[in-house]
Every structure is written in structure tokens, then in C-alpha cells.
Amino acid sequence: MTTTAASSGSFLISPNVGLMIWTLLLFGLSMFVLARLAFPRISQALDRRQRAIEDSIDAAERTRREADDLLDEYRERLRESRQQAEEIISRARKAAESHENEALAEARTRREQLMEQTRKEIETETRRAIEEIRREVADLTVAATEKVTRKTLTEDDQRRLVEEALSELDFSALATADER
């Protein structure tokens, strides 16, 4: 058995020219078939894969540039929005200040009108009170004179006595005291 075992395993170790030719011939035929049928398809698949990867990289780069552009655009819009908001707030403040100033001016004008109206009413009431006092003084003067003289005075006498009594009284002091 040693000879058959040795002879069966020895063909793998010992070179055989016929086996080498057939092996080379089959290897060459396999390479030819692979080169004609499989390698072009493999090459095409690898080229497609490479183009797909390059296209994906290009698309990713375009998407990144578009995203950067959009980000810049959104930042610009945000800046513009903030400016508009600040302008709106500024206009609102100016409008409020203007409204406040108008309200204050209107209040001052109204106050001055009320003060003027009150002064006129005071002057009217003062004049009316002075006239009333004059009438009462005149009536009292006539009554006192009639009692003293015990006779009825004529209208001319009454007028003369009233004018004398009124000239002795200082009504201007009353008017100036009220105006203070």
C-alpha cells in the first residue's frame, strides 16, 4: 500500500508536463472567457458604481452649496426682519411720543381756555357784585338821607347824593383784591 499511496500522492508533487499544459490551456481559456464575458461586465459595473458615487458626491456638494445659499438667504431675511421690527418699534415709539406731545399740548390749550373762561366769569361776577353793592349803597344812602332829613328826596337829589357817596367809596380796591 505504500507504493500506491506514494504513487497516488506523488503526481501532485512531481511535475507532469501534460498536466501543466492542460492546466495552462484551461487557465488561458478561462481567462479568455472571463476577459470576453465577465471582465467587461465587471468593469462596466465598477464604472457605473464609480459614476454613481461621483454623482452622489456631486449631488451632495450641490446640496451642500444650496443649503449654504439657503442658510445665507435665511440669515439675510432674519437680519431684514430684525431691521423691520426695529423700524416698526421706532415708529411706534415716535408715534406714541407724538401722540403724548399732542395730548399734552391739547391739555395745556384746554387748561388755558378754562383759565381764561374762569377769569372772565370772575370778572363778570366781580362787576356784577360791585354794581349790586353800588345799588345797595345808593339805596342805603337814600334811605339814610330820608331818615335824617325826614323828607322824600327828588330824583335829582337822590342822584346827587348817590354820586357823592359812591365817589367817596373806593371800588377799585375791591376789583384789584379779587384779581389777586
**pLDDT beyond 80 at 161:** no
Which 3 state secondary structure label does DSSP give 180?
coil
Q: Which residue has the higher pLDDT, 35 or 144?
A: 35
CA–CA distance from 159 to each of 25, 73, 166, 172 (Å)?
167, 99, 10, 21
Q: Which of 115, 106, 126, 112 is CA-nearest to residue 176?
A: 126
Given this model, what pLDDT does residue 167 score? 76
**108: confidence class by pLDDT, cuts 50, 70, 90:** very high
Given this model, what pLDDT does residue 150 score? 60
**1: confidence class by pLDDT, cuts 50, 70, 90:** very low
Residue ranges covered by each domain of the chain: 36-179
- How far is it, in rounded angstroms, from Cα 166 to Cα 159? 10
**pLDDT beyond 80 at 28:** yes
Three-class DSSP labels, 129-172: HHHHHHHHHHHHHHHHHHHHHCCCCCHHHHHHHHHHHHHHCCHH
**pLDDT beyond 70 at 172:** no
The pTM (predicted TM-score) of the whole model is 0.39
Which 3 state secondary structure label does DSSP give 14?
coil
**pLDDT beyond 80 at 176:** no
Residue 138 C-alpha cell reads as 345808593
**18: confidence class by pLDDT, cuts 50, 70, 90:** confident
Residue 38 C-alpha cell reads as 465577465
Q: Which of 134, 123, 133 is CA-nearest to residue 179?
A: 123
Given this model, what pLDDT does residue 96 score? 94
Given this model, what pLDDT does residue 162 score? 76
Burial 140-163 (b: 16+ CB within 10 A, else e): ebbeebeeeeeeeeeeeebeebbe
- How far is it, in rounded angstroms, from Cα 121 to Cα 127? 10
Span 50-61, pLDDT tens digits: 999 999 999 999
Give the DSSP letter of residue 37: I
Largest CA distance in the chain: 195
Give the DSSP letter of residue 16: -
